Structure 1
């Protein structure tokens, strides 16, 4: 006959059950560690009614999932972890403000507030519709494995240049005050081609034309092979078409396929079949858009293992 369990056995079973319930509910494994507080916080007036706030990435024992931006203790923005800059709008002209940033993790833990940064919005500039001139002579250099440093010549404005905006492809990723003509961009990926341009902006939010573009490639990570990005991409517009030329990547065999992207969206796959071109590749893209339409163009190659390689540098072209 089976004997009933003894009291110690029942107590042990109860303890195990309680432990499993606590674990399932997050009792023992609950994340109580807060992220580090964001550093490098800056705030600058983008116009008479907006301020651009930026910061460096915070760290966490598991993962940072977002950031909270506070204006004198009141939360004004919530952002995902991939963002480390934001424009705070609907402010008052000629007014002093103070901003802090806190990091957040998946468990809802908030970091300590960053040091507060002060900024004063300028006076409004009514009826200012004149944009600054184009920043000149954009140059850049790779600064370590995940950063670059950019420099350019000053732009001019009928009133004042209040900031310079740095774009990677078509996305603004950084801003510096109008008194600066250099910027350091961090948080980049290793072994990646980046295309940068700069625009000048005034207090009325008028933006200049893009500067000339500069292409920079960050060093590959140890153990990575050669770059898989097409090189030397050129795009030339003519009536009804865009002519493209580029150098396919070195893959140990001929590259037979490329994907072509316009404005970040896949437009077509270029296939040469059994005899792809040796050396420089060319392609004619027919367009029916009206003159003055602006396109960003980039492409990537299909590698021997069937995967798609890295993107080329991006080119901007205006339809004639």
Structure 2
């Protein structure tokens, strides 16, 4: 398990120390000549980017959590605007890219007054190598199965497709509409942000580096549960909490396995004794195999604390809580 130093957003006075960085990161100081949006327009959430082929990347996001009307979105590759889209579109294929190249994408929402909101989190993706004269499409993905994970989530799994040059990505369809994409090394996807008590039909297609697309898999029909449960599959797994002493104080060390969402989990909320203590956020690269985080709890020995965490899902909402652990300082 690798340790990746996260960026922590504290809920109180500690935020003031990063005020200038926060103002810049939230787009309030803009160098692109556009008007800065009012404070009620927030950034798009749940932004992901997945290489679709050697020359294309599939970018996805969800609308901002603010209640301000959104009239459209702008997608940026680095500092260059590459797409302008209407408000009802939350994904796009960016084409004409270079093979074996690293790209950083962000998304901004535009308000009804024409102003731009802050940029989303940066997502990084590297396109695969190009292949010579490839006209053979991958085989049809087989064995598609689905499991309902509560009222708002389902899990899909399938058997890997084959291709003479290698599968680069899998595209997930709801009916005839592409709604998600995962890397060619994955054979499962967690779909979130669904409606409770609703029937869905999903299928999967494989794509190679030359943009050849396989025939569609068989269709799996699923109906989400009633209620508001996010489902246990959205919770961090293998959650562990221990205490340690350092420099006359006590700390809680956390370790966990991110939920398998088919992409990066950019943020986690940490709850201490039933209340949110902090939000842990990663920048351009979030850990996928295992994550660790430590925080200060005080200088008194013998104090008992309860701690649990939950992950931010691809649609920007928060998943189910991990199991809750109880620790004692100095114990």
Residue 95 of structure 2 is aligned with which of 89, 98, 116?
89
**Alignment of 1:39 onto 2:45:** yes
Residue 155 of structure 2 is aligned with which of 138, 141, 149?
149
User: Could you tell me how far 1:221 is from its partner in structure 2?
Assistant: 6.2
User: Could you tell me how far 1:167 is from its partner in structure 2?
Assistant: 0.7
Residue 72 of structure 2 is aligned with which of 66, 88, 95?
66
| Greater RCO, CA 8 A, separation 6+ | 2
Q: Which runs of 5+ in 1 are unaligned?
A: 1-30, 223-320
Does the CA-based 8 Å contact 2:40-2:68 persist in structure 1?
no
In structure 2, distance between residues paired with 1:191 and 1:65: 29
Q: Secondary structure at the match of 1:139?
A: strand
Does the CA-based 8 Å contact 1:35-1:109 persist in structure 2?
no
Aligned to 2:302: none
Residue 127 of structure 1 is aligned with which of 125, 133, 139?
133
User: Could you tell me how far 1:41 is from its partner in structure 2?
Assistant: 1.9
User: Could you tell me how far 1:72 is from its partner in structure 2?
Assistant: 0.8
User: Could you tell me how far 1:71 is from its partner in structure 2?
Assistant: 0.6
Q: Secondary structure at the match of 2:58?
A: strand
**Alignment of 1:180 onto 2:174:** no
Q: Secondary structure at the match of 2:114?
A: coil
Aligned to 1:162: 168
Q: Secondary structure at the match of 1:41?
A: strand
Supply the RMSD in Å over aligned alpha carbons: 2.0
Q: Give 1 or 2: higher strand fraction.
A: 2
Aligned to 2:211: 205
Aligned to 2:106: 100
Q: What's the TM-score once normalised by structure 2's chain length?
A: 0.54
1:257-296 → structure 2 map (5 Å cutoff): none
Q: Which runs of 5+ in 2 are unaligned?
A: 1-36, 229-331
User: Could you tell me how far 1:109 is from its partner in structure 2?
Assistant: 3.4
In structure 2, distance between residues paired with 1:111 and 1:150: 34
> Taking structure 1 as reference, are residues 68 and 182 closer, same or farther at Cα in structure 2, changes over 3 Å only?
same
> Taking structure 1 as reference, are residues 85 and 142 closer, same or farther at Cα in structure 2, changes over 3 Å only?
same
Q: Secondary structure at the match of 1:55?
A: strand
In structure 1, distance between residues paired with 2:135 and 2:121: 36
User: Could you tell me how far 1:220 is from its partner in structure 2?
Assistant: 4.5
Structure label with greater radius of gyration: 1
